Amino acid sequence: MEFVFVGGLVALFAAMQYFSKEAKLKRQLRAAPIHSLAAVPEGTLVRVVGKATALDDQTPLLRAPLSGRPCLMYFVKVEPQGSSSGHSIRETNAIPFMLTDANGKAVIDATAAYPALIFDRDFESGLLDPAKPAENEFLARHGRSAKAWIFDRALRYREGIIEVGETIAILGIGFREPDPDGTPSEGYRSAPPTRIRFTSSPKYPLVISDDPTTMRPAQNRLPPASKS
């Protein structure tokens, strides 16, 4: 009976992970075909993969709240552990940045994007491990405190970021705009240079991930074999 109970808990945890928001977003990314930035069809939901960089050398970067790392985007999640009460906290922030691949470039307006990032920093606070200054500052910004009566509550802090130069995957809809840095084609009647811009909309918010599994080509599903 004990084995069955433990197995049930494992199955419940696996189901929670499968249906979590981040897992769902990553599945959507994996299922979409990859387009090169030079061949993105306007107004169509596509997946693109490229290197993320700042728009220019003058663009101020963000600082991740817990680790202080410079970044283009961050996602922090804080959750109570064990018997600690309270709701989880989620915070994301991003700035517009440039995405480049072998064939082109695009501006990514990530200010309203959904993050599906890998949490590469994991911290805890509790009875024997008081919250650090960065953790206390983060909680205070959300009107919360690590303290519960005398001791610190058991909390888990996870942080993921998009670094400058990191390869990422994006799911979204792009539109062409004039490229102020582009080189005009030769000829009097040549079209002005353009670039693609991805931005969120209420119906199709951008999804951004640094999970390597979201950068692989979509798996082609073969049709079932016909019966002879």
Any domain includes 7: no
Any domain includes 228: no
Instruction: Indicate the burial class of 78 (C-beta count within 10 angstroms; 0-12, 13-18, 19 or more).
Output: buried
Torsion sign across C-alpha atoms 204, 208, 213, 218: positive
Any domain includes 8: no
Listed residue (134, 128, 118) closest to 75, CA to CA: 118
Residue 152 pairs with which residues in a beta bridge?
147
pLDDT, averaged across the chain: 84
Answer whether residue 45 shows pLDDT above 80.
yes
Any domain includes 122: yes
17-37 confidence digits (pLDDT tens): 444 788 898 999 999 999 999
pLDDT-derived band at 90 (thresholds 50, 70, 90) equals very high
pLDDT-derived band at 120 (thresholds 50, 70, 90) equals very high
Any domain includes 120: yes
Identify the pLDDT of residue 193.
Answer: 78
Q: Which domain holds residue 205?
A: 21-182+191-215
Identify the pLDDT of residue 92.
Answer: 96
The phi and psi torsions of 174 (rounded to 5 degrees) equal: -115, 155
Q: Which tokens is 42 given?
A: 């306007």
Identify the pLDDT of residue 226.
Answer: 45
Q: What is the mean pLDDT of residues 50-61?
A: 94
201-227 confidence digits (pLDDT tens): 888 899 999 999 999 998 654 444 444
Q: How crowded is the C-beta side of 27, counted as CA atoms within 13 Å? A: 8
Any domain includes 60: yes
Q: Which tokens is 179 given?
A: 């490229």
The phi and psi torsions of 189 (rounded to 5 degrees) equal: -100, 15
Any domain includes 91: yes
Any domain includes 15: no
**pTM greater than 0.75:** yes
- The count of structural domains within the chain is 1
